[in-house]
Amino acid sequence: MVSVKWSEFVDAFEFASCGDGSETSAFVDLQTGTIYCSADGLDDEGPEDLHTSDRYVSVPHKNDLDLGRSLALAFVEQHLPEDLRQAVDFFAKRGAYSRFKQLLASRDALTAWHAFEAEATEQALKAWCEEHEIQLVFDQPPATP
């Protein structure tokens, strides 16, 4: 089992999730734990076989882990059930996430959303790493004097 620092893995996940899933990607080397990131139009500094070898596993995009639309709707269903129909309508069109955030702001629910999203993301990433036999190493907090 290879070890990867949690903070580095989260950074790779965010990088891989910043586009629509085709412009940016990140990979974990299953032998060394090294993380490689690549983006369309940029020179890859990773190994030549990064995109073709079984040695590397692609870090998932947030949509691969149901952390997009379905998570937002689950939040609304749990915390703002009276707004569920409106939220579903938002996600039927482009620009849904900005309208969703406006709805949350108007209901004073942004803080609750961020906590809900962070918890769901952490759990999904931990499960994904376990499935791929990647051991996460968590940074130790600094010692207090």
Instruction: Report pLDDT for 137.
Output: 94
Tell which residue, 123, 85, 87, 81, has the closest CA to residue 103: 87
Q: pLDDT tens-digit profile of 24-69?
A: 889 999 999 999 998 876 656 688 898 889 999 999 999 899 998 9
Looking at the fold, whether 77 and 57 belong to one and the same domain comes out as no
Looking at the fold, whether 14 and 58 belong to one and the same domain comes out as yes
Beta bridge mates, 70: none
Instruction: Report pLDDT for 114.
Output: 97
For residues 82-97, give the mean pLDDT.
94
123 found inside a domain: no
Q: How many domains does the chain have?
A: 2
Range of 23's domain?
2-62+128-137
122 found inside a domain: no
Contact 43, 67 (CB under 8 A): no
Mean pLDDT, the chain, rounded, equals 91
Contact 14, 26 (CB under 8 A): no
